[in-house]
């Protein structure tokens, strides 16, 4: 589909520091300056997942980001393309690896891993085992950390029937370090919300992002 090339080219242009349009469908500042409400490309790492909505190709097709009907202008319902999960379900700007953390990934994310893709029974079995630790070879320690999968061998030992080998290069096992926190308070009919992203380093908590909404 043409939109795929447009999204990929524009994504590269949003991140790179030069002013050269990528491929046939990319977009640099000249494109964004021509919008009704102009802005400029980031030309560097994105600061939030929501920023993806500003990129050419995604901004014109909200379903790519949030899920839904990709081509609502299509009158023939049978020809409409529906996206179950948009990019926001799979992307995070924090982290230290491009692999998927099997100890924290949600169902829809696990279903994108080669070897697991489309097998909801297997993905749910992984989630259930990391929640209960029912098939651990050692018992007694009921701490949350003890329930985590330690490595590929541990994962395959604890999941009945194992996990297809195609998945191995795409999985990571480190304990979750990054947390998103949302707190809402209300007094006198007025609510106030704080959203933050924090990283846990040993016994220290460091905030990477903090936003207060009036």
pLDDT digits (tens, 9 = 90+) for 128-170: 999 988 888 765 555 667 788 999 999 999 999 999 999 999 9
- 119 alpha carbon, distance to own chain's centre: 19
- pLDDT of residue 192 exceeding 80: yes
With 0-12 / 13-18 / 19 or more C-beta atoms within 10 angstroms meaning exposed / middle / buried, residue 104 is middle
Q: What percent of the chain has pLDDT above 70?
A: 90
Task: Give the tens place of pLDDT for each residue, 12-58.
Answer: 999 998 889 999 999 999 999 999 999 999 998 887 788 999 999 99
Residue 114's pLDDT band (cuts 50, 70, 90): very high
Locate all alpha helices (DSSP H) within 93-204, ordered by sequence: 107-110, 120-132, 152-158
Look at residue 164 in the predicted model and tell me its pLDDT: 96
Contact 25, 13 (CB under 8 A): no
Q: What is the CATH number of domain 1-90?
A: 1.10.40.60
Strands annotated E in the chain: 68-69, 82-83, 100-101, 171-172, 178-187, 190-201, 204-213
Strand partners, 198: 179, 207
Q: What are phi and psi of 207, to 5 degrees?
A: -90, 125
For 108-120, what is the mean pLDDT?
Answer: 90
pTM: 0.58
For 3-7, what is the mean pLDDT?
Answer: 88
Q: What is the DSSP letter of 174?
A: P
Contact 108, 178 (CB under 8 A): no
3-state SS assignment for residue 65? helix
Look at residue 143 in the predicted model and tell me its pLDDT: 63
Tell me the pairing of strands 178-187 and 190-201: antiparallel
Report which of 163, 175, 171, 166 is spatially closest to residue 100, judged by C-alpha positions.
171
Look at residue 97 in the predicted model and tell me its pLDDT: 60
Look at residue 177 in the predicted model and tell me its pLDDT: 72
| Nearest-angstrom CA–CA distance, 6 and 49 | 19
Residue spans of the domains in the chain: they are: 1-90, 100-172, 178-212
| Nearest-angstrom CA–CA distance, 28 and 20 | 7
Task: Give the tens place of pLDDT for each residue, 45-99.
Answer: 887 788 999 999 999 999 999 889 998 998 898 899 898 878 887 776 666 566 8
Contact 123, 112 (CB under 8 A): no
- pLDDT of residue 176 exceeding 70: no
Which of the two residues, 174 and 129, has the higher pLDDT score?
A: 129
Look at residue 158 in the predicted model and tell me its pLDDT: 94
């Amino acid at each position: 589909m043409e939109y795929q090339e447009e999204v990929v080219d524009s994504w590269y242009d949003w991140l790179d520091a030069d002013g050269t349009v990528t491929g046939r469908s990319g977009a640099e500042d000249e494109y964004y300056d021509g919008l009704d409400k102009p802005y400029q490309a980031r030309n560097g790492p994105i600061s939030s997942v929501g920023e993806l909505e500003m990129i050419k190709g995604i901004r014109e097709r909200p379903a790519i980001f949030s899920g839904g009907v990709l081509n609502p202008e299509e009158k023939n319902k049978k020809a409409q393309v529906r996206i179950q999960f948009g990019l926001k379900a799979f992307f995070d700007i924090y982290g230290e690896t491009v692999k998927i953390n099997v100890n924290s990934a949600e169902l829809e994310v696990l279903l994108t891993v080669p070897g697991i893709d489309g097998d909801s029974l297997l993905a749910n079995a992984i989630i259930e085992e990391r929640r209960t630790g029912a098939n651990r070879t050692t018992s007694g320690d009921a701490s949350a950390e003890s329930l985590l999968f330690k490595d590929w061998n541990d994962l395959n030992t604890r999941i009945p029937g194992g996990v297809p080998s195609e998945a191995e290069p795409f999985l990571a096992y480190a304990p979750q370090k990054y947390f998103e926190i949302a707190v809402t308070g209300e007094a006198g009919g007025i609510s106030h919300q704080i959203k933050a992203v924090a990283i846990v380093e040993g016994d220290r908590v460091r905030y990477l992002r903090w936003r207060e909404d009036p």
